[in-house]
Chains A and B, each alone.
Chain A
Amino acid sequence: MASEHAEHVLTPTSYISHHLSFMAHPVGDTPFMSVNVDSVVMSVLLGIIGCGFMWLAGRGATASVPGKRQALVELALEFVNDQVKSIFHGNISFVAPLALTVFVWVLLMNSMDFLPVDLSAWVYKNVFGLENWRQVPTADINTTFALSLSVWLLMIFYSVKAKGLGGWIHELTCSPFGSNPVLWIPNFLFNLVEYISKPLSHSLRLYGNMYAGEIIFLLLGLWAATGPSGTFFGAILSGGWAVFHILIVALQAYIFMMLTIVYMAMAHESH
């Protein structure tokens, strides 16, 4: 990195900011009109890998003794199916595939955090010629918000579908405190807070965990650059953090899926 930018001395600040810059490609004049190419490409690749793998397993699915690939996918399917069935009461033919997609996709995107930050940055730069390539799409707030807002839209859609537009408006204004006209405004404000906080907490929880995980790897990488003892202990701690991160990656994917199911279930239930 330093050799190409001879004027840049490799300082901690430049190291961190280099690792945390997206490959933003402007498509318009305003700051909003740009696309983080790295996030989109990585997430789409992972989505294609995940869905494609499951599709391959499903295409050759047999009701008799399943192969190893089918068994693996069925494991995920059964796991998601059980969770959905226990939370969501009603027709699960859409919610279950939604939850499966969310789980597999988020798990794969989170798993990109397992790749060593500096090694993969070197590969992106020297093999693919890509500077500033962020490999963890879920450490991009755009991705997590895209997911949570999509779920949010689905939630509103299914809420209206299940209760009708009038029922939904009735729920917004008359619950949780009661249907007295005096309480319409407090009810609505309460529901507004709920509707705003749902996608916020949904996406920020995932984003925060993945972002923090990445930062810790970067800080340990910084420490490793300070000298032999730093390299030694930094490597050990990086290994430890990587092991712990396996849990976080899986757990955050699970939580994201569970919240998706819960929100959809709440949308279906009427008060």
Chain B
Amino acid sequence: MNINLTLIAQGVWFFAFVWFTSRFVWPPLMRAIEERQKKIADGLAAAEKGQLELVSAKGRVDELIDGAKRQSQDLVQSAQKRADEMVEAAKVTAQAEGERQLAAARAGIEQEIRQARETLREQVAELALAGAEQILMREIDASKHQDVLDKLGARL
């Protein structure tokens, strides 16, 4: 257990190892660690930024969806309105058409009635004339009673 030259030998080796470590071991490892720390910090920052962007994108998407919803509601509403209008207009048109046709039909009927009446009157006049001719042939002188016959014809 005595102090001897080992002391100096060990001291020399100690300095050799310290020199080696500080020269070849510490710098590359520390560089790798610091680089990785930087990478991780960058990654975390990027993740945070991404999160923020996601939130804002979500807000934008919500806005877009709201707008689209409003727009589609407006569209549906205006379409409904338009349809109502079209139905209303069709009703009006149909009514007018119906009335027109009715009027035309009525006019046709009236005309026919008039015609029929005219025809009927003429035939009745002829018939009456003929009947009266038959009955009065012998006693009535056509020339004497012409004015009576004319009056009758005019009344029919």
Q: Which residues of A approach B to under 8 Å, CB–CB? A: 20, 24, 27-28, 31-36, 39-40, 43-44, 47, 50-51, 54-55, 57-59, 61-64, 66, 70, 73-74, 77-78, 81, 93-94, 96-98, 100-102, 105, 137, 140-143, 145-147, 149-150
Contacts and interface: CB of A to CB of B under 8 A. Distances in A.
Contacts of A96: 26
Interface centre among B11, B17, B25, B36 (most CB of A within 10 A): B25
B148 to A, nearest CB: 139
Contacts, number: 130
Contacts of A81: 30
A63 B36 contact: yes
A78 B24 CA distance: 16
B52 interface: no
B7 A142 contact: yes
A73 B35 contact: no
B138 to A, nearest CB: 146
A141 B21 contact: no
Nearest to B25: A54
A147 B25 CA distance: 20
A77 B26 contact: yes
A55 B20 contact: yes
B4 interface: yes
Question: What 5 pairs across the A-B complex have the smallest Cβ distances?
Answer: A146-B10, A97-B22, A63-B35, A142-B6, A61-B32
Given A20-B1, A58-B25, A70-B32, 5 more contacts: A32-B5, A59-B28, A97-B18, A101-B17, A143-B10
Contacts of B18: 97-98, 101-102
B9 interface: yes
A31 B39 CA distance: 58
Contacts of A57: 29
Nearest to B2: A31
Nearest to B10: A146
A105 B10 contact: no
19 contacts: A20-B1, A24-B4, A32-B2, A35-B5, A40-B6, A55-B20, A55-B25, A57-B29, A58-B29, A63-B35, A77-B33, A100-B25, A101-B17, A102-B18, A143-B6, A143-B10, A146-B10, A147-B11, A149-B7
